[in-house]
Structure 1
């Protein structure tokens, strides 16, 4: 049996997305069919539309989602029809060298559904991050479904599926922010603000938000920043040092993904401090640093991929914190939109008008 559903498709590089009917098969072994309730509009989806990930068009966009399991294939035991789940793109294999070392958060062979969703003419779709959730239903590997408390709002907790988890994890998992630490976050979009929220959860004493947009700095303060720096108006490295006794921050999280801001992060940290790169660079970008400075400042330079998260561990914990009122995921939702408004949401994202638009189905 197959299912005909509405979905958002990117057919060609740079072309506007279209709302189309697609064909979704019933789940096979190890797969799950999920009815999507909400899906955030993430910058990664725009990267796919612009050909910045690869050129496997047409793409079925959307990946930052929550919904309800409708059916599962043979061999699936961890989830069942009716379960409320957040979708993830780290369905660990359990067999690769990272998993065998007990580090499944670095799994090198994560699972996706084996069957293909298609257009009505049979053209195979490439689902964004192996998910494809700008759709009424999608087919995923069962391991891409993380069961969480159904009392949570799908609009809010679906954001844990990508951007919010990336930011929180960059602070807590990758940066190891601890009680009393000073943290600077460069770039206050969705991921940067999530890093601020994560730093607050971890007990950081000082959280410095850096951006060129006063609107974003205001939002960062509402989410948990203690200080702000407008880097159009002042040198962010000097400002961060001034706010940290002249030393620099213990952890600096770069959430832009540009060489210029990475250098700012590098020089704005304290000796033996940590730099975390969670912003996504483009392939042509190059970084040049004096090797003596890298050696002489000590500490750690880290990259954070998906916030070094383990969905089965981190998603339920963060949902519980949300339900307890300790993690304000609702603050990340600027607007809710319909499935046919994704292209307009991309435009608002491009202009910095939203923290997150969320498609509600």
Structure 2
């Protein structure tokens, strides 16, 4: 039977969030009801509230989540009740042209739950990134559930559901950082610092963190940065990166901000034939203008990283194992643990740069 839980919604553009009753319907054949144990507060949730994603209000916010499978649809084979899972927003179909070509991380037809969650009056909710996990329970497709070590702290495990995975994957998957490489990361929030941790894990020897906030640069140092550049103290980030890389530029530069000025710095701060990875999400009105000859003459690769080009079934268990071995400090991303009613205050803390991640914990 359908049941009612608490959930955090954005009812209209730029309005404060509300904690309201949310109705979880019976799962469809391939759907799963998950009892949420922890969910990180991601900048994407704020973008939904502010109208930066689309206008399909009301939104059920939250998507960086871990929890326990409570019930399953009649055709579910991927998980069972009681499984501890991390939720993901790119459940690959296995049939689209990207999947058939062996590139499932680009899947063009990802799955979500087949029936909507609603408000008490029957109004359908749009779940953030197809998940909607600022709620006691949520409804997702079975492919959005990835089983991981059940002994893992849910607040840590859930971070792989979005921002931390995006940053780790930007370095390890998209950027293909290797042993001995030099890496520069522009923007040291949660995604950028995860890229720093990923570069360190991949064996980079020079890891340069770039930000305008000294507190964020300090966090970057804890997560693996070997050098820092305070952008508020220099108007020439490119020269500063070159000075730290023998005058050449970095092998891989990761833009975790997503603005024309940061992308331009990333483009020119890389070595000849180096790689630029854009993982910061730009807003639709932003444009970039660069001399075309510079694209040609510098060579290399310009890449965008979608969700860190991850495969949840491959990457989530591996990264949790590395965390449990003490080789990946995922717990350092958890700045504070909060209640469901504190999401609005967490957005303010995020905007002020006071946290890497606030995590709602049940």
Matches within 5 A, 1:175-186: 175-186=175-186
TM-superposed deviation, 1:45: 0.1
CA–CA separation in structure 1 for the residues paired with 2:157 and 2:81: 19
TM-superposed deviation, 1:88: 0.0
- Which of 44-53 and 70-79 deviates more? 70-79
**For 1:66-86, what per-residue CA distance to the aligned partner results, in whole angstroms no more than 9, with x for missing partners?**
000001102111110000000
1:8 aligns with 2:42: no
CA–CA separation in structure 1 for the residues paired with 2:242 and 2:206: 12
TM-superposed deviation, 1:225: 0.3
CA–CA separation in structure 1 for the residues paired with 2:342 and 2:288: 37
Specify the alignment match of 1:314 in structure 2: 315
Specify the alignment match of 1:200 in structure 2: 200
TM-superposed deviation, 1:124: 0.3
Specify the alignment match of 2:354 in structure 1: 353
CA–CA separation in structure 1 for the residues paired with 2:237 and 2:229: 7
**For 1:253-302, what per-residue CA distance to the aligned partner results, in whole angstroms no more than 9, with x for missing partners?**
00001000000000000000000000000000000010000100000000
Scaled by the length of structure 1, what TM-score is found? 1.00
Specify the alignment match of 1:300 in structure 2: 301
Where do 4+ consecutive residues of structure 1 move more than 4 Å? none
1:46 aligns with 2:46: yes
**For 1:226-267, what per-residue CA distance to the aligned partner results, in whole angstroms no more than 9, with x for missing partners?**
000001112211110000000000000000010000000000
Specify the alignment match of 1:101 in structure 2: 101
CA–CA separation in structure 1 for the residues paired with 2:46 and 2:152: 27
Specify the alignment match of 1:283 in structure 2: 284
CA–CA separation in structure 2 for the residues paired with 1:145 and 1:172: 22
**For 1:180-234, what per-residue CA distance to the aligned partner results, in whole angstroms no more than 9, with x for missing partners?**
0000000000000000000001000100000000000000000100000001112
Matches within 5 A, 1:5-84: 5-84=5-84
CA–CA separation in structure 1 for the residues paired with 2:251 and 2:226: 15
CA–CA separation in structure 2 for the residues paired with 1:116 and 1:219: 39
Q: Unmatched 5+ residue regions in structure 1?
A: none
Specify the alignment match of 1:259 in structure 2: 260
CA–CA separation in structure 1 for the residues paired with 2:56 and 2:326: 41
Scaled by the length of structure 2, what TM-score is found? 0.99
CA–CA separation in structure 2 for the residues paired with 1:254 and 1:134: 28
CA–CA separation in structure 1 for the residues paired with 2:100 and 2:350: 40
TM-superposed deviation, 1:40: 0.1
CA–CA separation in structure 2 for the residues paired with 1:81 and 1:26: 14
CA–CA separation in structure 1 for the residues paired with 2:32 and 2:340: 22
Specify the alignment match of 1:328 in structure 2: 329
CA–CA separation in structure 1 for the residues paired with 2:151 and 2:339: 23
TM-superposed deviation, 1:5: 0.1
Q: What is the SS of the residue equivalent to 1:105? A: helix
> RMSD of the alignment, in Å?
0.5
Q: What is the SS of the residue equivalent to 1:284? A: coil
CA–CA separation in structure 2 for the residues paired with 1:8 and 1:251: 38
CA–CA separation in structure 2 for the residues paired with 1:248 and 1:18: 47
CA–CA separation in structure 2 for the residues paired with 1:339 and 1:143: 26
Q: What is the SS of the residue equivalent to 2:65? A: strand
CA–CA separation in structure 2 for the residues paired with 1:295 and 1:209: 27
Matches within 5 A, 1:123-134: 123-134=123-134
CA–CA separation in structure 2 for the residues paired with 1:360 and 1:94: 33
- Which of 48-57 and 20-29 deviates more? 20-29
CA–CA separation in structure 1 for the residues paired with 2:220 and 2:137: 34
Specify the alignment match of 1:342 in structure 2: 343
